[in-house]
Amino acid sequence: MPTRTRLLVSFVAIALLVLTVFGIMAYRIANESALLREAMAMQATVDEIAGQMTSALQVLPPALDTLRGLRLPYLQHARLFLVHTADGKSVPLGGLERDQFPDKGKLLAQLANTAQPASGQLLYRNLQYTWASVFIPGTDLRLTVVHPSIDVEFATLRSLGMRMLITAGIVIWIAVWGALIITALLTKHLNKQNARLVHQALHDDLTDLPNRNLLYDRIEQALHRCHREGQSLALFIMDLDRFKEVNDTLGHHFGDHVLQQVGKRISATLRETDTVARLGGDEFAVLIPDAHMQDAQSCAEKLLATLDVAIPINGMSLSVKTSIGIALYPQHGGDAESLLQHADVAMYQAKRSGSGFNIYAQDQDPHSLRRLTLIGELREAIAAGQLELHYQPKVNLKQQRTHDVEALVRWQHPTLGLILPEEFVPLAEQNGLIAGLTDWVLHTAVKQCCDWRARGICLRVAVNLSAHSLHDLNLPDYIAAILKAADLPASQITIELTESAMMSDLARAMDIFERLAAMGIRLSIDDFGTGLSSLSYLKRLPVNELKIDKSFVIDMAEDENNAVIVRSIIDLAHNIGREVVAEGVQDRDALQLVEMLGADTAQGYYISRPRSAADLETWLHDSEWGLRVQGPRGDTLHLV
């Protein structure tokens, strides 16, 4: 039942209840007073009759018979009249129903004795009677007369009923009105309250700008319109740079003030039709309908210019830098979720580069669909055998032989084709899959090494470790266990770690390297020259070789500086007793040059690209750097 009806019914019910109670009360009071009046009137009449009787008694001999013989007009209509003597006897003298009141006489005598003069009502055989009792003056006799009561009830009802009816009408009318007015007022109040709550739920308390929920809604609406009318839209996500410092140094009160000012400025810069929202913290969003790339850019520039003006606070002026990320519909997403996410990505890119604003570009996005897909599938790929190891030969330049190969992981994706480790290894690192990947690589490499050994191919296999592997202090024990299970001498395995990975946690790298070296495993620092090694540590690290980063080697022929660096690294390494591997040897000149500069080992596409195990075996068989030994007569003997 709606509130209005419920209130109406209850008001009318209360009105009716009150009317009924008051009606009954009024009726009873009116009734009683009418009866009382009748009794009093009767008493007066009887009093008069008693007076007449006295005069009759004075004339006649005083006897009850005399009284009985009196024909007084009033008494002739009485139902009963009787005389009580002084000794308590009641003698009915006359009346229409004299014989029907045998007991009532006594009752009346008792009543009459209690007070004098007396009157009242009595009920006999469902009929109401009024009686009055008075002394007959000059005698010790008392006269009581009983008369049927007049129909008080009907009279009362007649006089009261109409008034009650009218009152009821008016009261109910008022009740209905009252209920209607109260419901209307309540509804009004509730609507106002509701509007306030809705506003509160959809707006930010501090700046009174729309919040994330409302922004979502507005984006959805704008997208519907765009979809219908083929328009585009721009979504900005703005973040104040180093806002936390403002809060921390000046206090939250000032921080809030800054946010309010920023909110006001953004709103003032934009059109009425644009939506400015505060997403929380120091993050704002702007929705610009019907905006293309150029509009978005000019808008962003305008916003940056406005926000660049220092905010005056407490006598000082505070300058806040802002980073804006822009996502456009339809280029960067078709729904609110993806637009917001992409604008967020662009914003972080802008923050990192300090460029002020940045328009979303998919290749910068760490969360692009391809990457998310890869993350989801990498775990299964390891189990499903989609990964494989390829091996790239490392040629010993003095002997012109291949003694080492570097194992490189490849992901043969069923739909996306070959995926290189540069793409999926960082994903594995970021998503906790690196331990599983390292595990698989170690096992596969060791197994392959054993397999070759069993067939007389003696190759050392180098395995790359990720910086994340350093977190696992059990790694040396784990590697030892794998080697033991495969019955492979530790010297057959080389562990490579990039210089930057090593420098990220030098102490831990030292610890792990020392334990690995103690086991007899060869250690190698990969991409050397790019990670800003501490030379003092380099001296103490138990590494066997340094691999010069390919960026130096590739440009060596053209760039003299690179040649100098390569030479210096080689000299340095040799001086502290380390071997040198030159990576990225892509042509004959480079090979000759690194050989001339004294590198111990060379690796690169000129020698061989990474090959599958079977392919490598063929290469070893055919290549001039393969596993051959010179026979005594100049022919070649293959170890294969």
Partner 1 sequence: MGLRWQPNVGRFDQILRLGIGIAMVWVGFIDSEIIGDSLMANLLGLFGLFNLVAAVLRVCPFYTLADINTNNQDD
| Min CB(193)–partner 1 separation in Å | 15
Candidates 175-183, 331-339, 362-370, 607-615: pick the segment binding partner 1 (CB under 8 A).
Answer: 175-183
Binding of residue 26 to partner 1 (CB under 8 A): no
| Min CB(170)–partner 1 separation in Å | 6
Residue 426 phi, psi (nearest 5)? -60, -35
Binding of residue 185 to partner 1 (CB under 8 A): yes
Rounded CA separation 47/229 (Å): 107
Candidates 8-16, 174-182, 424-432, 549-557: pick the segment binding partner 1 (CB under 8 A).
Answer: 174-182
Nearer to partner 1, 9 or 185 (CB): 185
| Min CB(198)–partner 1 separation in Å | 20
Structure tokens at 425: 């290894």
Pair type for strands 127-135 and 142-148: antiparallel
Structure tokens at 183: 């419901």
How wide is the angle at C-alpha 521 spanned by C-alphas 517 and 526, nearest 5°?
90
Rounded CA separation 442/429 (Å): 16
DSSP 8-state code for residue 330: T
| Min CB(159)–partner 1 separation in Å | 7
Rounded CA separation 442/437 (Å): 9
Nearer to partner 1, 11 or 81 (CB): 11
Contacting residue, 68, 76, 113, 173, with partner 1 by CB under 8 A: 173
Rounded CA separation 525/545 (Å): 6
Q: Return the CA Rg of the chain.
A: 57
Nearer to partner 1, 192 or 224 (CB): 192
Nearer to partner 1, 177 or 252 (CB): 177
Nearer to partner 1, 170 or 201 (CB): 170
Q: Which residues contact 131 (CB under 8 A, 6 or more apart)?
A: 39, 42, 108, 111, 119, 120, 121, 122, 144, 145, 146, 147
Binding of residue 195 to partner 1 (CB under 8 A): no
Which x/- pattern over 153-172 shows residues binding partner 1 (rule: CB under 8 A)? ------x--xx--xx-xx--
Candidates 184-192, 238-246, 380-388, 586-594: pick the segment binding partner 1 (CB under 8 A).
Answer: 184-192
| Min CB(162)–partner 1 separation in Å | 6
Nearer to partner 1, 163 or 253 (CB): 163
Q: Is 637 exposed, middle or buried (0-12, 13-18, 19+ CB in 10 A)?
A: exposed
Candidates 27-35, 180-188, 300-308, 415-423: pick the segment binding partner 1 (CB under 8 A).
Answer: 180-188
Coil, strand or helix at 194: helix
Rounded CA separation 343/336 (Å): 10
| Min CB(210)–partner 1 separation in Å | 29
Alpha helices in 521-612 (DSSP H): 535-540, 550-554, 560-575, 588-597
**Total number of residues binding partner 1 (CB under 8 A)?**
16
Nearer to partner 1, 181 or 206 (CB): 181
Binding of residue 192 to partner 1 (CB under 8 A): no
Burial 252-291 (b: 16+ CB within 10 A, else e): eebbebbbbbbbebbbebbeeebbbbbbeebbbbbbbbeb
| Min CB(11)–partner 1 separation in Å | 13
Nearer to partner 1, 163 or 302 (CB): 163
Contacting residue, 150, 180, 313, 613, with partner 1 by CB under 8 A: 180
Contacting residue, 181, 481, 564, 629, with partner 1 by CB under 8 A: 181
Binding of residue 177 to partner 1 (CB under 8 A): yes
Binding site for partner 1 (CB under 8 A): 159, 162-163, 166-167, 169-170, 173, 177, 180-181, 183-185, 187-188
